[in-house]
Chains A and B, each alone.
Chain A
Amino acid sequence: MKEETPFTRFRKEFAESPLAVLGLVVVLIIAALALLAPLITPQNPYDLAQLDIMDGRLAPGAKSADGLTFWLGTDDQGRDMLSGIIYGLRISLGVGIGSAVVAGIIGSSLGLAAAYFGGRLETAIMRLVDLQLSFPAILVALMILAVLGKGVLNVMLAITLVEWARYARTARGAALVERRREYIEAAECLALPRWRLLFRHLLPNCMPPLIVIGTIQIARAITLEATLSFLGLGVPITEPSLGLLIANGYQYMLSGKYWISFYPGIALLTTIVAINLVGDQLRDVLNPRLKR
């Protein structure tokens, strides 16, 4: 019989929850949609030549003058909602994943450094983390955007500054346990350079909790971006994310034209819930305390 590698065991344990597998499949489909957007959408929502203002605010299933069917209706500019949503996913996922990853790199490095070096550095970093976490994310992001103004990069910067602290706390917690292990002592005896010790020896062994936090932070980043864009502080109108699409439809909802807000919301919701399902299962599988 073939020997069980850690990866096959991980795969088997992950597959024990059908919901999590479903979540993973949905995440992969959404990611594929976002990546392949220009190839699969019926319309390029940014190409003004393809839009016809006469098609504005059509109900789902209506047909345009030249025979294109708008399965999810159109917005006030006569833009196909389905295409708009798929392009919006691109921006939402891009901003969410991008800022969660940058925050992860910064936060984990600081957390590792705090745990490894200790002393004043640790106190300084962890005090900053405490201060950061005592204010709600939305408020910190609001402060930053109030100063910097809107824009894709500014939103990413705001989300990064909001999220790094959680990684730092997690990384420090894991690293405090790991740094007392013998392999670290062995590496120290080999007189390896500090950076190598930190990133080649300590970091890989602290990865499991960071991966779990990472998935959940991506979902949080996507939600935060959508909220900020909804408030009009996020991405500019030329690069509409799901949150901005929802905001655009808000004014038409009171007159019963629900689809302009409703469908982007469903897309946002599906994305967030799917990522959270994967994250939940990862937490159970990667948690050594729950090992069967």
Chain B
Amino acid sequence: MTSWLLRRLIQALFVVLAMTVIVFLGVNVIGNPVDILISPQADQAERARAIIALGLDRPIWEQYGTFLWSAMQGDLGKSFVFNEPALRLIASRMPATLELAVTAVLLSIVLGIPLGLYAGLRPQSLGGRLIMAGSIFGFSLPTFWVGLMLIMVFAVQLGWLPSTGRGQTETLFGVPWSFLTRDGLAHMVMPATNLALGNIALVLRLTRAGVRETLPMDYIKFARAKGLGPARVLFVHVMKNILIPIVTVIGLEFGSIIAFAVVTESVFAWPGMGKLIIDSINVLDRPVIVAYLMMIVFLFIFINLIVDLLYTVLDPRVRLDSRE
């Protein structure tokens, strides 16, 4: 276990290093940092001074070393637009995104599992078929268009829900949250649903497939034969076995939910890191872009590690060392 963890951490370190190289080369070699970092109004002398000040006259490997060194100290530069350290800026937007992502995950569990159970227990029924047909839309509809349609129907036509923004927030642990106020919750309904749709479909399909596979098993027949009620068979015997793949997928999908929040946040003008990165790309605020990319890489590696660890907890048959 310890040796496995150590190996994984070293692997993760290499991925992070590789990403810093890619991001650094992307920004500094493919794009020209002089054009990006120095105001276009600057004259020749100012440009030359700025190039030396930024260390852009040094050889590329030396520049990379400086970049890596300051990155390790948590310094990824200052945002041109907000004139704030890029990392702090992203950290300040992160709670909004996390709040949305966690709500979306909860929604996909609360809706996806019961719907999947129903469709799995009654595959031939009208309801079961409707659920399966509906789940295809959950996969194939483009997220941003669904978001627009939600706004059109529920905000513009019916006027039930607010269309954009975070609404009123309440501070907890020094961070503003929307889920603590009624207004904030109302603002969260549509973006969270929009973000959750694809995952509801995924969880639903996994649950259904799991139920269909598990029901004909001998141990289920045996549980029934010994006189257990259908509820106990379903929730203890069936559920316990199908939860493993579901938990894995939900864990892995958490990362892609955060990635897709970029789209949802843009549609609903939700002030999270996704909206920040799109705005930053549009105005070429490179330090923020670099900081966001590095942050996301860290997050992904972390999530993958946690999911692998969860696996052993859920299924004792999985031995991490033997999977290498």
Contacts and interface: CB of A to CB of B under 8 A. Distances in A.
B is bound to A = yes
A35 interface: no
Contacts of B156: 253-254, 256, 258
A87 to B, nearest CB: 19
Interface residues of B, number: 37
Contacts, number: 97
A36 to B, nearest CB: 25
B152 interface: yes
Contacts of A261: 148, 152
Contact of A268 (B142, B143, B260): B142
B128 interface: no
B289 interface: yes
Given A246-B144, A262-B152, A268-B142, A138 B262 contact: yes
Contacts of B163: 254
Interface stretch (B25-33, B101-109, B310-318): B25-33
Given A134-B304, A146-B289, A253-B151, A269 B27 contact: no
B300 A143 contact: no
B263 interface: yes
The dominant DSSP class at the B interface is helix
Interface string A214-231: 000001000100110011
A138 B142 contact: no
The winner among A135, A138, A143, A145 for most chain B CB atoms within 10 A is A143
Contacts of B267: 250
Interface string A129-171: 0010011101100110111110000000000000000000000
A265 interface: yes
B288 to A, nearest CB: 10
Contact of B293 (A146, A246, A254): A146
Contact of A146 (B142, B144, B152, B281): B281
Interface string B30-41: 110000000000
The winner among B27, B136, B143, B281 for most chain A CB atoms within 10 A is B281
A223 B30 CA distance: 27
B26 A227 contact: no
A74 interface: no
A233 interface: yes
30 contacts: A131-B15, A134-B304, A135-B259, A136-B256, A138-B256, A138-B260, A138-B263, A139-B256, A142-B277, A143-B293, A145-B281, A146-B293, A147-B27, A147-B31, A148-B30, A226-B145, A227-B143, A227-B144, A233-B281, A233-B282, A243-B144, A246-B148, A253-B156, A254-B155, A254-B156, A254-B163, A261-B148, A262-B152, A265-B149, A272-B140
Closest 4 pairs (CB-CB, A-B): A147-B26, A136-B256, A136-B259, A139-B259
Given A136-B256, A233-B281, A272-B141, 9 more contacts: A143-B293, A146-B281, A149-B31, A226-B145, A227-B142, A253-B156, A254-B163, A258-B152, A261-B148
